[in-house]
Chains A and B, each alone.
Chain A
Amino acid sequence: MSAVFGLFGCGLLTLAAVATGLRLQRFPVSARIAVMLVAALAVFAPFGDLSAAAYVRGVTGDLSVTTLVLAGAACVSGLTGRTAIGPRDLRGLFWLVVSAAAFLYPFALGWTRFDPYALGYGSIEFVTAMLLITLAAWHFRQNVVVLIVIAAALAYLAGAYESRNLWDYLIDPMASLYAIVCLLAAALDRARSAEA
Chain B
Amino acid sequence: MPGWSRWALLVAVVLAFGGLYFRIFAAPPPGGFALPQAATRAAASTRPLYRQQLLPNSAERSVHSATAAEISGGRLRAFWYGGSREGAADVSIYTSVYSSVEGSWSPERAVVTRESAQRHLQRYLRKLGNPVVGRDRNGRLWLFFVSVTVGGWAGSAINLMVSEDEGETWSEPRRLIASPFFNISTLVRGPLLQFVDGTIGLPVYHEMLGKFGELLRLDAEGHAIRKTRLSWGRSSLQPVIVPRSDTEAVGFMRYAGDPPNRVLMIRTSDGGATWTAPVKTPLPNPNAAVGGVLLANGPLLLALNNAEENREGLSLASSTDFGNTWRIAHEFEGDSSSPQPPMREYSYPWIMQDEAGDVHVLYTWGRTRIKHVHFNRTWLEGRR
Contact = CB atoms under 8 A, between A and B. Distances in A.
Interface of A: 3, 6-7, 49-50, 54-55, 57-62, 104-105, 108-115, 117-118, 120-124, 127, 130-131, 134-135, 138, 141, 143, 146-147, 149-150, 153-154, 156-157, 159, 161-168, 172-173
Given A105-B181, A168-B180, A138 B10 contact: yes
Interface stretch (B78-86, B227-235, B324-332, B338-346): B227-235
A49 B118 contact: yes
Interface stretch (B19-27, B92-100, B354-362, B371-379): B19-27
B210 A118 contact: no
Given A127-B20, A127-B24, A153-B19, A121 B226 contact: yes
Contact of B12 (A55, A121, A150, A162): A150
A134 B277 CA distance: 36
Residue among A110, A138, A146 having the largest count of chain B Cβ atoms under 10 Å: A110
B280 interface: no
A62 B122 CA distance: 11
Contacts of A123: 24
A112 B232 contact: yes
A143 B224 contact: no
Contact of A168 (B118, B157, B177, B233): B177
Contacts of B119: 49-50
Given A108-B181, A138-B10, A141-B6, 15 more contacts: A54-B122, A54-B123, A58-B123, A58-B124, A61-B175, A109-B208, A109-B209, A110-B210, A123-B24, A127-B20, A138-B6, A162-B174, A168-B183, A172-B182, A173-B181
Interface string B1-17: 10000100110110011
Nearest to B274: A113
A164 B225 contact: yes
Contacts of B209: 109-110
Contact of A59 (B10, B121, B182, B228): B182
User: Which label, helix, strand, loop or mixed, suits the secondary structure of the A interface?
Assistant: helix
A154 B17 CA distance: 9
Interface in B98-132: 115, 118-119, 121-125
Given A108-B180, A124-B21, A57 B13 contact: no
Contacts of A120: 180
Given A112-B232, A118-B226, A161 B20 contact: no
A59 B23 contact: no
Interface of B: 1, 6, 9-10, 12-13, 16-17, 19-21, 23-24, 27, 115, 118-119, 121-125, 149-150, 157, 174-177, 179-183, 206, 208-212, 214, 219, 223-229, 232-234, 277
A157 B232 contact: no
Contacts of A164: 177, 219, 223-225
Nearest to B9: A146
Given A54-B122, A54-B123, A110 B21 contact: no
Given A124-B21, A147-B9, A167 B122 contact: no
A166 B20 contact: yes
Given A105-B181, A138-B10, A143-B9, A154 B16 contact: yes
A131 B18 CA distance: 10
A41 to B, nearest CB: 18
5 contacts: A6-B122, A115-B227, A138-B10, A157-B19, A157-B23
A121 B12 CA distance: 22
B229 A115 contact: yes
A113 B229 contact: yes
Contacts of A141: 1, 6
Nearest to B7: A138
A157 B20 contact: yes
A134 B124 CA distance: 36
A59 B9 contact: no
A112 B210 CA distance: 10
B1 A143 contact: yes
Contacts of A62: 177
A7 B157 CA distance: 18
A138 B12 CA distance: 11
A154 to B, nearest CB: 6
B104 to A, nearest CB: 37
Given A7-B122, A138-B13, A150-B13, A165 B180 contact: yes
A111 B17 contact: no
Nearest to B219: A164
